[in-house]
Amino acid sequence: MTSVREVHLKSRPVGMPSHENFEIKTVELRDPGPGEVQVKNLWMTVDPYMRGRMNDVKSYAPPYALGEPMHGGAVGQVTASGDPNFKEGELVLSQLGWREGFTASAQGLQKLDPRGLPPQAFLGAAGMPGLTAYAGLLRIAALKEGDVVFVSGAAGAVGSMVCQIAKAKGHRVIGSAGGAEKVAFLKEIGVDHAIDYKAEKDLTAAILAGAPEGIDVYFDNVGGDHLEAALNAAKLFARFAICGMISIYNATEPQPGPRNMALLIGKNIRMEGFIVSHHFDMMPKYIDELSGWARDGRVKWRETVFEGIEKAPDAFLGLFKGENLGKMLVRLG
C-alpha cells in the first residue's frame, strides 16, 4: 500500500455542508521510519461534532485546516512497522480517519483489544459515542433508582446506547426519533414509549403520554424544540445532561434559547453540558459493563454503513438528514 485516497476540506460551509466542501486526493505514503507505523484503515467514523470543526472558530476541538485532510476516529491494521511495540497485522484505533491509510508516529495510536467485539464497534457502542451515553447518564444526569428518562436523537449512535443503558439499569425510557422505521427500532431495543417527532404537533404532550407524571432525566442530543418540550415535561429536581444540539449545528445565525428557561427555577432543574473527553476515566468500567450486557443480549447496536472513502462525504451529510439508524460508518477495508 503506497498510494491512498484522503478526504480534504476544500472550503468552509455556510449552513448545511455540501459535496463542494470536500475534495478527494490521492497521496503517496512513505515507508515508516523508526517509531513510525504504516496503517491501512478498515473503518472510519463520521460524527456530528465534525461539522463544528469545519468552521474557522475556536472551540473545544481545533478547526480542520483548509486544503488538509480531515481527521477523526478510524480502526485500521498495521501493514509495516518501525516500532517494536506494533506488529504487522495488529488492529489500532487512531484519530487519522477520512483517509485509506497513513504513515505516522506510533505514539498517537491505541492497540485494540477486541474482546470478541467487531473492530468497528470501537467507533460506536464500545467507543466514544457509547462512553458519551454512559458518562452522560451516570455521571452528568446522576441516574438514580426510579428515574424516568427521556432521550432525543434516540435511534442514533449515542441515543440508542442511552436508551439501552437506562433500560439495562431498570428505568422507564421515552425516546424520540424521526420516522416510522426509527420508532420500530426503538421498540425493538426496549424503549417503553417511542415518539416519531416528525409526526407530532405537540412534543410536550407526546412526552407526557409516555410519562404522565413527568421525566426525571433528559438526555439532550437535539436542542431546540426538544429541549423546550423536555423542560415542560420535567418533574421537580429533574437533571438535564446536555450532550448535543444537532438541530442548530447548521444554523447561520445565533439561535434563541428555549422560551421556557424560567422553569429551571420553579422546578429546581439542574442542567449541565459535557464533553466526553473529560470522562475517559470511565471507559474501563463502561467496557466491562457493556461486555456483560452484550453477552446476555440486553444491549445491541445497529450500524449504517457507506462503502469506500469516496462515500465518506455522503455518510457525513447523511447525519444531518437522519439517514442513519445507529452508528454511521464508512467501510474502507
* Residue 275 identity: I
* Cα–Cα distance measured from residue 274 to residue 279, given in angstroms and rounded to the nearest whole number: 9
Task: Please give the grid coordinates belonging to residue 249.
Answer: 449545528
Restricting to residues 168-187, which ones interact with ligand NDP according to CB under 6 A?
177-179, 182
* Cα–Cα distance measured from residue 328 to residue 330, given in angstroms and rounded to the nearest whole number: 7
Please, what's the b/e burial string for 120-149 (b: 16 or more CB within 10 A of its CB; e: otherwise)? bbbbbbbbbbbbbbbbbbbbbbebeeebbb
Single residue of 138, 158, 162, 271 touching ligand NDP by CB under 6 A: 158
Task: Please give the grid coordinates belonging to residue 77.
Answer: 491494521
Restricting to residues 251-290, which ones interact with ligand NDP according to CB under 6 A?
274-276
Task: Please give the grid coordinates belonging to residue 241.
Answer: 445532561
Nearer to ligand NDP, 79 or 304 (CB): 304
* Least distance in angstroms from the C-beta of 8 to ligand NDP: 22
Nearer to ligand NDP, 40 or 302 (CB): 302
- Which H or E element spans position 228? helix 224-233
DSSP-derived letter for residue 247 is G
Spatial CA neighbour of 216 closest among 234, 202, 198: 234
Q: Which stretch binds ligand NDP (CB under 6 A): 2-10, 84-92, 112-120, 317-325?
A: 317-325
Q: Does 53 bind ligand NDP (CB under 6 A)?
A: no
* Least distance in angstroms from the C-beta of 274 to ligand NDP: 6
Q: Are 72 and 97 in contact (CB under 8 A)?
A: yes
Nearer to ligand NDP, 32 or 178 (CB): 178
Single residue of 4, 121, 148, 155 touching ligand NDP by CB under 6 A: 155
Q: Does 320 bind ligand NDP (CB under 6 A)?
A: yes
- Per-residue binder mask for ligand NDP (CB under 6 A), 59-98, x = binder: ----------------------------------------
Task: Please give the grid coordinates belonging to residue 41.
Answer: 484503515
Long-range contacts from 85-90, C-beta under 8 angstroms, 24+ separation: 86/37, 86/111
Single residue of 47, 100, 216, 303 touching ligand NDP by CB under 6 A: 47
* Cα–Cα distance measured from residue 280 to residue 278, given in angstroms and rounded to the nearest whole number: 6
The β-bridge relationship of strands 22-28 and 91-94 is unpaired
Sign of CA dihedral 71, 289, 222, 269: negative
* Least distance in angstroms from the C-beta of 222 to ligand NDP: 4
Q: Does 232 bind ligand NDP (CB under 6 A)?
A: no
Q: What is the size of the binding site for ligand NDP (CB under 6 A)?
A: 29
Task: Please give the grid coordinates belonging to residue 299.
Answer: 444491549
Task: Please give the grid coordinates belonging to residue 315.
Answer: 455518510
Nearer to ligand NDP, 147 or 220 (CB): 220
- 3-state secondary structure at position 102: strand
Q: Does 243 bind ligand NDP (CB under 6 A)?
A: yes
- Per-residue binder mask for ligand NDP (CB under 6 A), 191-230, x = binder: ------------------------------xx--------
* Least distance in angstroms from the C-beta of 155 to ligand NDP: 5
Single residue of 156, 175, 210, 258 touching ligand NDP by CB under 6 A: 156
Residues of this chain that bind ligand NDP (CB under 6 A): 47-49, 129, 132, 153, 155-159, 177-179, 182, 221-222, 243-244, 246-247, 274-276, 319-320, 322, 324, 328
